[in-house]
């Protein structure tokens, strides 16, 4: 048994995130009756979790009796502990194995997400650009059709039955001809491969027109964008020369949603979703951000902290913030979202949906940065404009700054098995396996969490990282503390909302038909919390 409430020697910025530790010296635990467990104080209760992810919230007195091995047989507490797998006697190993297998089901296939950076050119200048965008005249940063076809061949060679090709940039519409080539070529090739194939484009929409939209809709390309909040904030952070980035994005969000409705698609499921990047200026605007997303018809909001990649490193003094301030912003925003849901306005927070799907649903929605082991190389591959292949998009971003640590090869010479069996991929799988990650192995939230090796490498000089002073770890713990506090409060309205946030509905319309007259008989696995798979 381990105490995840003890986090010594953390920086002052993160000190406020530590829960008050339990007085273990007074409890004097006695081993013998308990099965393996981890624990963490949650307000006046104690959360206990076990190896296969089951959990209980105990009162302090109940936890003391449990830790001392003094729970009377036949008591209600004894029955609760036994039924949830916290007592050695009667512990059902085969059932626990099946639960753990369900949580790690994503390991049964190879990379399903393949990110194609079709150009670095972009007409927007974002203050925090993670992609290290290039100017519009830098045509040498466009992916060629030949390189794109080779990337598609590698993607379709994946052992995964589900393949998503995601167009990134820069701004992918700058190299629209290659986007069209990839869709046409991959669709033709897939008639022999028989994958469940999807296409996704992440775009600022400013270069969209009706002809392009007609083609993208016809070819079932899922469209995603970025919205940083209300107009003034968005235009200050995501600049177009014309000064109307927000206006153009909003115009096309509405137009695309209208097209989905004209096709007879369920508007609660088929609509444009957007990504937010939280900067210092965003923190006091939590209500305005939520209201903006609701007004646009978005059903989900991802309150992502800023990452230290690309241009964000240069602008950190202006954009960065202490993570305990982020967690206050997160709590206020999600509290407001829960109020809106209670009034019949459906909007979910994606971090919460990811964690709750694991906590309440008992399975993993396969969000690549929040699983164990993480998806770098074994769940995703990134193909740069020049044909270089990386374990993840963050690895590609690091390469743009001169760090080639996550490069696996080139489309001209690489073979699929060489990529997924590359020593770097093996090292990342080990480093992000929380069963062997120092600190994580003792953490109460280990069954539900994940770590990003590229982030750890960038900020701490090690793919393993140091979780006790890791800002991402602090955010993950803080969010899960909040969620378990809400579960502990037991408000029926909140519990109903949480249950709804874990509901996965696959967007079958975006699965490419294998021929003009047929389509896959079963849907591709939906990631309910990212634009790469659509919200719940």
Same domain, 97 and 113: no
Q: Describe the strand order of the beta sheet including 2-3 as a list of residue ranges.
A: 2-3, 38-42, 45-49, 55-59
Q: Where are the alpha helices (DSSP H) in 381-470?
A: 393-400, 416-420, 423-431, 453-460
Q: Are residues 145 and 87 in the same domain?
A: no
Q: State how far the Cα of 392 lies from the Cα of 406, in Å rounded to an integer.
A: 8
Question: CATH number for the domain including 247?
Answer: 3.20.20.70
- Sorted by sequence, the CB contacts under 8 Å of residue 447 that are 6+ apart come out as 49, 50, 51, 52, 53, 103, 358
* Triad 8, 12, 17: Cα angle to 5°: 65
Contact 31, 8 (CB under 8 A): no
Q: Are residues 112 and 96 both part of a single domain?
A: no
Q: Is residue 84 part of a domain?
A: yes
Q: How far apart are CA 32 and CA 402, in angstroms?
A: 54
Residue 527 belongs to a domain = no
- Same domain? For 468 and 326 the reply is yes
User: Residue 56 forms beta bridges with which residues?
Assistant: 48
Domain range for residue 415?
108-510
Domain tally for the chain?
Answer: 2
The verdict on 321 and 446 lying in the same domain is yes
Residue 363 is assigned to a structural domain of this protein: yes
Q: Residue 394 domain-assigned?
A: yes
Tens-of-pLDDT digits for all 536 residues of the chain?
555 444 433 445 555 555 555 555 455 556 679 999 999 999 999 999 999 999 999 999 999 999 999 999 999 999 999 999 999 998 999 999 999 999 999 998 899 999 999 999 999 988 888 667 899 999 999 999 999 999 999 999 999 999 999 999 999 999 999 999 999 999 999 999 999 999 999 999 999 999 999 999 999 999 999 999 999 999 999 999 999 999 999 999 999 999 999 999 999 899 999 999 999 999 999 999 999 999 999 999 999 999 888 766 777 778 899 999 999 999 999 999 999 999 999 999 999 999 999 999 998 999 999 999 999 999 999 999 999 999 999 999 999 889 999 999 999 999 999 999 999 999 999 999 999 888 899 999 999 999 999 999 999 999 999 999 999 999 999 999 999 999 999 999 999 999 999 988 888 999 999 875 444 433 344 443 333 333 22
Q: Last residue of some domain: 103, 129, 163?
A: 103
∠ Cα 186 191 194 (to 5°): 100
The rounded radius of gyration (Å) of the Cα atoms in the chain is 23
Same domain, 273 and 303: yes
| 326/469 same-domain check | yes
DSSP-assigned letter for residue 33: S
Question: Cα separation of 444 and 53, whole Å?
Answer: 9
- 283 in any annotated domain: yes
Q: Does 503 fall in a domain?
A: yes
Beta bridge partner(s), residue 349: 301
**Pairwise CA distance, residues 382 & 117, whole Å:** 8
272 and 159 in a single domain? The answer is yes
Whether 122 and 91 map to the same domain: the answer is no
Residue showing tokens 């640590």: 405
- Residue 409 maps to a domain: yes
CA distance 530 to 94: 33
Q: Point out the domain boundary residue: 103, 118, 138.
A: 103
Domain shared by 69 and 112, yes or no: no
Domain closes at, from 69, 103, 137: 103
Would 263 be classed as within a structural domain? yes
* 12 C-beta neighbours (distance < 10 Å), count: 8
Helix (H) or strand (E) holding 321: none
Do 206 and 75 share a structural domain?
no
Q: Where in 177-262 does DSSP place strands (E)?
A: 196-202, 221-226, 238-239
Shared domain for 128 and 32, answered yes or no, is no
332-359: b or e for each residue (b if 16 or more CB lie within 10 Å)?
ebbebbbebbeeeebbbbbbbbbbbbbb
């Amino acid at each position: 048994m381990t105490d995840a409430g003890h986090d010594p020697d953390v920086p002052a910025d993160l000190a406020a995130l530590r829960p008050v530790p339990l007085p273990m010296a007074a409890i004097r635990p006695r081993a013998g009756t308990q099965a393996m467990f981890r624990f963490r104080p949650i307000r006046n209760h104690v959360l206990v979790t076990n190896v296969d992810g089951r959990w209980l919230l105990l009162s302090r007195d109940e936890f003391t009796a449990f830790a001392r091995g003094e729970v009377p047989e036949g008591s209600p507490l004894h029955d609760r502990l036994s039924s949830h797998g916290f007592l050695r006697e009667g512990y059902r190993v085969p059932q626990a194995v099946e639960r753990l297998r369900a949580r790690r089901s994503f390991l049964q296939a190879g990379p399903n997400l393949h990110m194609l950076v079709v150009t670095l050119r972009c007409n927007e200048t974002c203050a925090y650009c993670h992609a290290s965008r290039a100017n519009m005249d830098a045509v040498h940063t466009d992916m060629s059709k030949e390189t794109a076809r080779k990337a598609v061949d590698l993607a379709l060679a994946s052992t995964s039955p589900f393949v998503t090709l995601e167009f990134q940039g820069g701004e992918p519409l700058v190299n629209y001809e290659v986007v069209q080539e990839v869709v046409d070529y991959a669709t033709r090739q897939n008639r022999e491969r028989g994958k469940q194939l999807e296409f996704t484009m992440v775009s600022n929409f400013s270069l969209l027109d009706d002809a392009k939209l007609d083609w993208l809709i016809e070819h079932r390309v899922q469209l995603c964008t970025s919205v940083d909040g209300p107009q003034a904030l968005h235009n200050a952070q995501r600049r177009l020369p014309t000064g109307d980035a927000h206006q153009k994005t909003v115009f096309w969000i509405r137009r695309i949603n209208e097209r989905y409705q004209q096709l007879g698609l369920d508007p609660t499921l088929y609509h444009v979703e957007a990504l937010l990047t939280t900067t210092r200026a965003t923190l006091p605007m939590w209500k305005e951000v939520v209201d903006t997303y609701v007004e646009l018809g978005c059903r989900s909001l991802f309150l992502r902290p800023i990452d230290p990649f690309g241009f964000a490193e240069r602008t950190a003094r202006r954009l960065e913030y202490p993570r305990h301030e982020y967690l206050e912003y997160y709590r206020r925003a999600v509290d407001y979202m829960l109020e809106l849901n209670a009034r019949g306005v459906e909007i979910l927070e994606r971090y919460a949906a990811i964690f709750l799907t694991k906590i309440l649903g008992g399975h993993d929605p396969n969000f690549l940065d929040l699983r164990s082991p993480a998806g770098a190389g074994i769940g995703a591959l990134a193909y740069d404009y020049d044909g270089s292949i990386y374990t993840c998009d963050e690895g590609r971003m690091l390469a743009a700054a001169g760090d080639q640590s996550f490069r696996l090869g080139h489309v001209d010479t690489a073979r699929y098995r060489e990529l997924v069996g590359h020593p770097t991929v093996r090292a990342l799988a080990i480093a992000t396996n929380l069963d062997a990650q120092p600190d994580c192995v003792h953490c109460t939230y280990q069954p539900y969490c994940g770590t990003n090796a590229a982030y750890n490498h960038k900020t701490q000089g090690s793919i393993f990282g140091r979780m006790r002073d890791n800002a991402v770890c602090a955010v993950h713990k803080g969010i899960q503390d909040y969620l378990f506090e809400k579960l502990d409060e037991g408000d029926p309205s909140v519990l109903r909302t949480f249950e709804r946030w874990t509901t996965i509905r696959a967007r079958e319309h975006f699965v490419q038909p294998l021929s003009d007259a047929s389509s896959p008989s079963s849907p591709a696995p939906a990631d309910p919390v990212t634009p790469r798979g659509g919200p719940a």
